[in-house]
Amino acid sequence: MAMDLDMDSMASSIGVSVAVLRFLLCFVATIPFSFLHRFLPGRFAKHLYAAAVGVLLSYLAFGFSSNLHFLVPMFIGYASMALYRPHCGIITFFLGFGYLIGCHVYYMSGDAWKEGGIDATGALMVLVLKVISCAINYNDGLLKEEDGLREAQKKNRLIQLPSLIEYIGYCLCCGSHFAGPVYEMKDYLDWTEGKGIWSTQAKGPSPSPYGATIRALLQACFCMALYLYLVPLFPLSTFSDPVYHEWGFWKKLGYQFMAGNTARWKYYFIWSISEASIIISGLGFSGWTESSPPKPRWDWAKNVDILGLEFAKSAVVIPTVWNIQVSTWLRHYVYDRLVQKGKKPGFFQLLATQSVSAIWHGLYPGYIIFFVQSALMIAGSKVIYRWQQAVPPTIKNVLVLMNFAYTVLVLSYSCVGFMVLSLHETIASYGSVSYIGTIIPVVLILLGNVIKPGKPGRSKARKEQ
């Protein structure tokens, strides 16, 4: 009883619910638990510890039912791999997503998150992606390299079925399923077994993770402080307030920008904590720089590039700087696999990928509209980029600035749907600024089919785009 009272008073003092406070405490606890993982001897002990800690933290954060929910997609994935390997990837994909959608609908998780609540569906979202990628990579293990495998398939495919303890350890590793990042079974096994870039024979002893961990923690503190400062100034409730609709066009547009910017700092905080947890375990190590002497890189667990997003020159780069690991997952397991051999990807692959992302987040109109909007936003940005490459440098600089302004405008406009979720509020918010963030991308796409610049030589920048 005393502990419940302490939790109530502590939650009230920081302005969150008890459920959110419990989640945050367990989420931060992933850091010391991940630190202890470094010192365990032997592969079996590491897998067992990773699994046990994941189960314990899930229970403390969400209750006993959460582990039952997590067990369903985990069982689907492992059973499909063990019983029907030739189609285990597609089976796990549809059944895993089906169960996730059912949980989204049953718990109405988007409403809970919008009101500042929490439930296990956020962690379930990460877990579903992990079991799907594991099953698809085991499916790819049947293919031969001469079958035209992409580099990601060659790197991540699994020749042998992981043991049950390896699989559970991978799924729940020290609570990494709480907020990601999503990572591959092959990387998890290499890290646990000290192979690949985690081999001590590669460039001497393992690098110290402590400096990078402290940097991630300081970043998390800054992001949370800024979020707590901004959120009372730009609440989402304003979008449904009659006063908002009395404002002028530019004031509404400015408020949309600030509300979206405010919401992003919450995600920056969450991902900074998860990054610190993965880094201190050693799993966040991503290799060495080419400098002399070489320095360790710790961006393997990175889920967001804050400056890269806030100052993105093109909407095309947003998937590479926001929710990075999920964007990578979507590219490898949706986008690339929809492209037929010998053909180039187009708007269909982009729209299908964004639609899968929308469904993964939940069946709310705001999510679906946002991700359709983001497909239009990226396609429009590509048109501006093609024009940039075909004009003299003086005009090119103007188009670069135009692409930056376009990205800020359309992203700020689009993300309102992601925040308010309901169809009525989304349409009302978009309509309040004359649907400018929808009209401009559509006009650019149409103009791109009319104004087709000649194809310049492929520069390094273009290859990256």
Nearest to 277 by CA among 303, 238, 253: 303
Which of 69, 245, 361, 424 is flagged as catalytic?
361
Nearest to 46 by CA among 202, 197, 190, 182: 190
**424 an active-site residue?**
no
Query: What is the C-alpha to C-alpha distance for residues 436 and 175, in angstroms, rounded to an integer?
Result: 42
Residues in the chain: 465
Mode of pairing for the β-strands spanning 287-288 and 296-297: antiparallel
- Tokens 């053909």 correspond to 343
The set of catalytic residues is: 361
